[in-house]
Structure 1
Amino acid sequence: MTMQKPLILASLLLALPLAAGTLQASPYHGDGHLLGTPEDLEWGPVGSMGEGAEIAIIEGDLAEEVPFTFRLRLADGYEIKPHVHPAYERVTVLSGTLHFAHGETFDPEATKTLPVGGFAIMAPGDAMFGYAEGETIIQLHGTGPWGIEYVDPADDPRQ
């Protein structure tokens, strides 16, 4: 995939539209501790991922150059179509099973099974894909701005 950086950044900054006025959290700046339980999370739709995926932002503004932490809840069988991100992606599987791989073509047979506790780290611009087995919750963290660009624009639910 060869693209110009300004085009990539512009499309990525528009990539994670959330439900109007919800799910924005502030970056943690070390004032006391940030503590919570799963029941404290506010889940909402992920416009860039479509039906079957929900997001709960723990910290950060995904459009800013600040640290972020969020969780994705994926329905059983949810397919993560080939895509890239503008920054390093660090994922930990908290529940369920994530089948994940590097590449620009969705191929379930090429994935590695990541059970609870499994993790993955992907470099900016490296295409990836996968699917969930059972309801799966993954936690992602990194530094924004964050976004997603699908290898095949037809896979983008925002279209």
Structure 2
Amino acid sequence: MSDPTDLSTSAASVTVNALRAAAERGDGDAVAELLAPDVVFHSPMTTRVAFEGRDEVTALHRDIFAVLDNLRTSEPLALGDARSFTFNATVRGVELEAVNLVSCNPQGQIVELTIFVRPLPGLATLFATLPPRVSTRRRGRPLGTLAAILTRPLAVVLHTADRLVPKFL
């Protein structure tokens, strides 16, 4: 943890506080202003896809903000130019919690974002909601529809398992 007196004034802290505020407002344009040109976003859903570049990561945030409701963030933790904060939100009425890891360059621009999501039903609902939207934007409606067909059954199965399996524990 860095010096607490430095947390609110460092370039990374200013950027992450602006990111949190933009997220709570659902403002993708404000996020764009915080990103380095070569930013990389690591998905919570797969290691097979990383979103790269300011334009793509900005578009992804617009998609994210379109599917999340009631997004609320926590105060960040700091180590050097890296910050971590949590957020809670709902997607299709299902609660989720996430941890964001944010790395900034010396100018305070975000160079890397990694997000981890829990619980499993929240992640499954996000997985059934966000990839079809992103796929439609990037590859067209037919592939977006295919993504929806492939992801929705997983969400149903995981929601059902989440309701039933704890009764067996």
Give the TM-score normalised by the residue count of structure 2.
0.31
Name the one with the larger helix percent.
2
Q: TM-score, normalised by structure 1?
A: 0.32
- Of Structure 1 and Structure 2, which has the larger fraction of its residues in strand? 1
Compare relative contact order (CA 8 Å, sep 6+) and give the higher one, 1 or 2.
1
